[in-house]
Copies of this chain bind each other. A is one copy, B any other.
Amino acid sequence: MEIKSTIAALAALAQETRLAIFRYLVVAGPVGAPAGKIGALFKMPLSTLSFHLKELKIARLLESRRDGRSLIYAANFATINQLLGYLTEHCCAGSACAPAVSQPSRKGAAR
């Protein structure tokens, strides 16, 4: 992933509403969810929701397809993967990004 798209993805996720929407759609999986359903969940004007969906889509973190009158949004896992790849490669490696320091270990440290 190049720097421009990295910045775009970071900026898209660096907003509470959008991060929440994205997380929701990650859980929803490839099936996704229609804009209306998302709007009902995260209560806000539909124009505001639409703005955030657009931002996420521009950053290629979401994809959308039409189903009747509904637009179904779904997470684009390739992009989040690429972002993770970039961060791991450029912002960790070299100086080793292993659990160098603390890291509370809240869960079972899966994988």
Grouping DSSP codes into helix (H, G, I), strand (E, B) and loop, the A interface class, with mixed when no group exceeds half, is helix
Q: Complex Cα distance A16/B84, Å?
A: 17
A3 at the interface (CB under 8 A from B): yes
A15 within 8 A of B: yes
Q: Are B90 and A87 in contact (CB under 8 A)?
A: no
Q: Are B14 and A95 in contact (CB under 8 A)?
A: no
Stretch at the interface among A21-29, A33-41, A44-52: A21-29
**Additional pairs, 15, CB under 8 Å, beyond known A26-B90, A27-B95, A89-B106:** A3-B16, A10-B13, A11-B14, A13-B91, A23-B90, A23-B91, A75-B95, A77-B92, A77-B97, A77-B100, A78-B101, A80-B87, A81-B99, A83-B87, A84-B88
